[in-house]
Every structure is written in structure tokens, then in C-alpha cells.
Amino acid sequence: MAQLVVRRIEAEVKERLHRRAKRHGRSMEEEVRDILRSAAREDEALAGGLGTEIASLFAKSGLKNDIAELHGHTVKPASFE
């Protein structure tokens, strides 16, 4: 396996990583590995963005307007109460 050394991490960032790792019940090193894995998967999965994907699906249907990309929004499940 490869090794990666990251220098000059701000103390606040290190502390937040430490708290996050503790919440997830793992070491800070494992937490950082998980964050990096997730970021690498996300980069591949969302290369074009949701708006781009939707626009390509409807391009032959006469869609003329741009569809805005949505970043940083959380998905909330529907409530049927």
C-alpha cells in the first residue's frame, strides 16, 4: 500500500478530524483513509454532475434551459405520516 504524508495541517482541522474519528469509533488515520476513499469515489461518480446527466437525458426532447448543478445539498427521505 502507498503512504501519503500531509504536512502543515491546521490545528483546528486536526482537532475536528480527531473528534470525527472518535464519533465513528476509529483512529484518526482510518478516518482520513475513509474520507479520501469517499472523495475519490465521489469524483468518479459525479464527474458530469446531476444537472449534466439530466440535461443529456432530455437533450433530444427540446430542452433548451440549463439545469443547475446541486452541490452540498442533503437528500431527505419522503415522509408519509
8 A C-beta contact, residue 51 and residue 68: yes
pLDDT in tens, 19-69: 999 999 999 999 999 999 988 887 665 566 777 777 777 777 776 777 666
- C-alpha triplet 47, 53, 71: angle, nearest 5°: 60
Check residue 62 and give its pLDDT: 75
pLDDT over threshold 90, residue 75: no
Is the pTM higher than 0.75? The answer reads: no
79 has pLDDT over 90? no
Compute CA 39 distance to the chain's CA centroid, rounded to the nearest angstrom: 6
pLDDT higher than 70, residue 80: yes
